[in-house]
Structure 1
């Protein structure tokens, strides 16, 4: 089943990376029928201006609303049956996400998640382990890449997500909600590469915010399930 597909790229201050990512998506033969939407999440570095060169639509938010809300704004901007979420900083490796969209379009699952290789200069993996543990506690299912931003979802899986305005906790939240809805998920090993913060102050700040967002949203998901 083919169906209409949209690629949603949330972006906040990604001027150094977004052009390469969007060019890769725009020029991929398998994405020629996809509507490419960028959500400029209150960037201050010209991200939105660069995005307009490649995207079919650029949704500009007046302030930084967080990744989850940005994704939701992108979904609402287009009428589609399938959605592919791609992070703005994956560059040429964005081409591998075609596999995810192909899988959900085939009806094999309702959400396909890219399972990338370990980062060469990553942190200590605390946020990832927290998300994996919480998802397992709530659903009984172990997800290897609970924080992967590269995902393809059917319309039904998108509608199963109860709350989007959860910032960096969105991947963990959508995983729990889709699993609770009884919809099948598949993880796919893909060589996706991000910009790496490493063990820098910026990296620790980013992962710290992510850790707290996951704690908050998972506590709420446990309460909802009781």
Structure 2
């Protein structure tokens, strides 16, 4: 019989904590399938996971966290998949709480990190901004958009594999995709510990990536809700500048023309993006 629950852990050079994480999961959920995706590690991560009792799927080279998630989702045989980090941040003891919420009828349950969980000040501020922006876009309270600790219904999660990036922003993409598809999303409070070893996230290098997440939030849900306010702001600026130049110089300036044109172009981009987004989520047979 195939296991009902599969635990997927993407791992890249996590040989130190991976064995302990796998054994803790197995002690708590002995009937669950544990799948470790070794994303091109060169420190014996796969061997340590195999020794601990996990089923290991290996990438010949590092493809990224999102790519490992997609590989794990394809390899998992459970009806429910729990994704969690392999670095010791996520406590396996929280898994039953996520599964219990899933049994209440939700399609995805995200482990929402509470105050005091491991995160730098900058990342904490960025995450709060993402949560508020996502809440505005979806019309629902988003408690933790970027948490990688989540339980999902496998068949529904696989619907969006083609949308997921190969990098670190798979949590953002999957959460917004579930909202856009009308699936039920819940949050369960958790506390994340300090990771074992060095983080693979580089703040300076990944600054642009986090900025792109902001735009991805909009384009994955309702682009017009992001483009329309921007177009309106440009239109009001154009009108205000036109009023100023008309009173002061009695003429219509190039700046007003540029802002008016920009507002129209931005609004039209939002409309086109809205149609493209609708096609992205068109149910595929």
Q: TM-score, normalised by structure 1?
A: 0.84
Q: Distance in 1 between matches of 2:164 and 2:42?
A: 23
Residues 82-134 of structure 1 show CA distances to partners (whole Å, capped at 9, x for unaligned) of: 00001111267222222112321x24311111112233562312441343244
Checking the alignment, whether the CA contact within 8 Å between 2:90 and 2:149 is kept in structure 1 is no
Q: Distance in 1 between matches of 2:90 and 2:175?
A: 26
Structure showing greater radius of gyration is 2
Q: Does 1:112 align with 2:164?
A: no
Rate the CA distance shift 1:51–1:201 in 2: closer, same or farther, 3 A: closer
Q: Does 1:98 align with 2:150?
A: no
Checking the alignment, whether the CA contact within 8 Å between 2:137 and 2:218 is kept in structure 1 is no
Q: Distance in 1 between matches of 2:5 and 2:118?
A: 32
Rate the CA distance shift 1:54–1:64 in 2: closer, same or farther, 3 A: same
Checking the alignment, whether the CA contact within 8 Å between 2:16 and 2:196 is kept in structure 1 is no
Q: Distance in 2 between matches of 1:148 and 1:92?
A: 10
Deviation at 1:196, TM superposition (A): 7.8
User: What residue in structure 1 maps to residue 169 of structure 2?
Assistant: 169
Q: Distance in 2 between matches of 1:143 and 1:197?
A: 29
Rate the CA distance shift 1:64–1:156 in 2: closer, same or farther, 3 A: same
SS, match of residue 37 in structure 1? strand
Q: How many residues align?
A: 220
Deviation at 1:216, TM superposition (A): 5.9
Deviation at 1:57, TM superposition (A): 1.2
Q: Distance in 1 between matches of 2:212 and 2:63?
A: 13
Q: Distance in 1 between matches of 2:136 and 2:36?
A: 34
Residues 22-80 of structure 1 show CA distances to partners (whole Å, capped at 9, x for unaligned) of: 1211111xx12211000011112221111111243101111211111111101111322
Q: Distance in 1 between matches of 2:206 and 2:114?
A: 18
Checking the alignment, whether the CA contact within 8 Å between 1:21 and 1:91 is kept in structure 2 is no
Q: Which has the higher helix share?
A: 2
1:9-48 paired onto structure 2 within 5 Å = 9-28=9-28, 31-48=29-46
Deviation at 1:4, TM superposition (A): 1.3
For structure 1, the 5+ residue unaligned runs are none
For the aligned residue pairs, the C-alpha RMSD in angstroms reads 2.8
Residues 185-218 of structure 1 show CA distances to partners (whole Å, capped at 9, x for unaligned) of: 11111223241899x9965247536515524643
User: What residue in structure 2 maps to residue 59 of structure 1?
Assistant: 57
User: What residue in structure 2 maps to residue 153 of structure 1?
Assistant: 152
1:187-198 paired onto structure 2 within 5 Å = 187-195=187-195
Q: Distance in 2 between matches of 1:166 and 1:126?
A: 24
Checking the alignment, whether the CA contact within 8 Å between 1:66 and 1:166 is kept in structure 2 is yes
Residues 131-179 of structure 1 show CA distances to partners (whole Å, capped at 9, x for unaligned) of: 3244234322231111111100012431342512341111010000111
Q: Distance in 2 between matches of 1:100 and 1:206?
A: 33
Checking the alignment, whether the CA contact within 8 Å between 2:10 and 2:38 is kept in structure 1 is yes
Checking the alignment, whether the CA contact within 8 Å between 1:160 and 1:178 is kept in structure 2 is no
